[in-house]
């Protein structure tokens, strides 16, 4: 039987466990920076958080926390992005990702944590190099291409927590306007967070300690995200890209498995 005293004690205990978790304040600072980048670009939070978080957490907890924390962005970012997004195309991407997310989770569960961290480093670093080099998708955007991109994004999201790189490369590197890129990626990533969390809950990967940790970390992330959204100005597209790529590069370097 829950009473006010037992409820308060449970909340205090859960928060205390989260705040004293090894590396909590590093994770909080990382997520604050990730939130700012997500707020003004619409992407990049997982590319920043996942490499660093792998230093302190096992892969399944990294995936659970980034997905749970990013759900906080849905209410703040999706309504504004909804009007500017290509909702049909984003819907097709998510539809293609639905069957591959659980497959990615199965692969992640079978791999050693260090191997997963190297996969994260290679994937995030490769995305960064592609964006800096100016690579862009030049072929026709057909239905099979859209479905393939969504399927790969779901697989990588389930395996590493990095749902966005494939879609970001498809949208951002193609030279589209910042507002459209931002709206499409916000909508896609928000929906994918819900899909990943649902799969984690079904498989029993998200225990109560992870939920408390994600809840505590959502505060600095949400503050950073609202700040980034307030700073967003389409006329500063080049500045946003440079800032995002710089922060992603620092996160990738910091999260390399060679340091631990």
Share of the chain above pLDDT 90, in %: 34
Residues 196-239: tens digit of each pLDDT? 999 988 887 777 888 889 999 999 999 998 888 887 776 776 77
Q: CA–CA separation, 192 vs 153, rounded Å?
A: 9
pLDDT band at residue 2, thresholds of 50, 70 and 90?
low
Q: Has residue 173 got a pLDDT over 60?
A: no
Residues 76-119: tens digit of each pLDDT? 778 888 888 888 989 999 999 999 999 999 999 999 999 999 99
Look at 220 and 258; give whichever has higher pLDDT: 220
Q: How far apart are the first and last CA of the chain?
A: 45
Exposed e or buried b per residue across 222-231, where buried means at least 16 C-beta atoms within 10 angstroms of its C-beta: bebbbebbee
Residue 177: per-residue pLDDT: 61
* 34 touches 49 (CB < 8 A): yes
Question: What value, to the nearest 5°, has the Cα angle with vertex 47 and ends 49 and 140?
Answer: 160
Q: Has residue 167 got a pLDDT over 80?
A: yes
């Amino acid at each position: 039987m829950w009473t006010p005293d037992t409820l308060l004690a449970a909340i205090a205990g859960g928060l205390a466990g989260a705040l004293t978790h090894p590396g909590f304040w590093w994770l909080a600072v990382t997520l604050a920076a990730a939130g700012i980048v997500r707020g003004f670009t619409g992407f990049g939070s997982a590319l920043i958080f996942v490499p660093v978080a792998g230093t302190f957490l096992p892969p399944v907890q990294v995936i659970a926390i980034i997905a749970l924390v990013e759900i906080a962005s849905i209410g703040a970012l999706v309504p504004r992005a909804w009007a500017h997004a290509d909702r049909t195309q984003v819907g097709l991407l998510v539809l293609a990702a639905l069957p591959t997310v659980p497959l990615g989770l199965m692969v992640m569960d079978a791999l050693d944590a260090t191997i997963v961290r190297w996969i994260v480093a290679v994937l995030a670093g490769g995305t960064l190099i592609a964006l800096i080099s100016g690579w862009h998708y030049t072929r026709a955007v057909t239905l099979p291409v859209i479905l393939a991109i969504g399927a790969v994004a779901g697989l990588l999201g389930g395996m590493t927590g990095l749902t966005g790189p494939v879609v970001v490369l498809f949208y951002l590197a193609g030279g589209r306007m910042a507002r459209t890129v931002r709206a499409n990626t916000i909508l896609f990533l928000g929906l994918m967070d819900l899909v990943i969390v649902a799969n984690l809950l079904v498989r029993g990967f998200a225990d109560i300690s992870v939920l408390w940790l994600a809840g505590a970390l959502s505060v600095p992330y949400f503050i950073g995200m609202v700040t980034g959204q307030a700073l967003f100005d389409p006329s500063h597209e080049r500045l946003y890209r440079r800032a995002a790529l710089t922060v992603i590069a620092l996160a990738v370097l910091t999260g390399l498995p060679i340091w631990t």
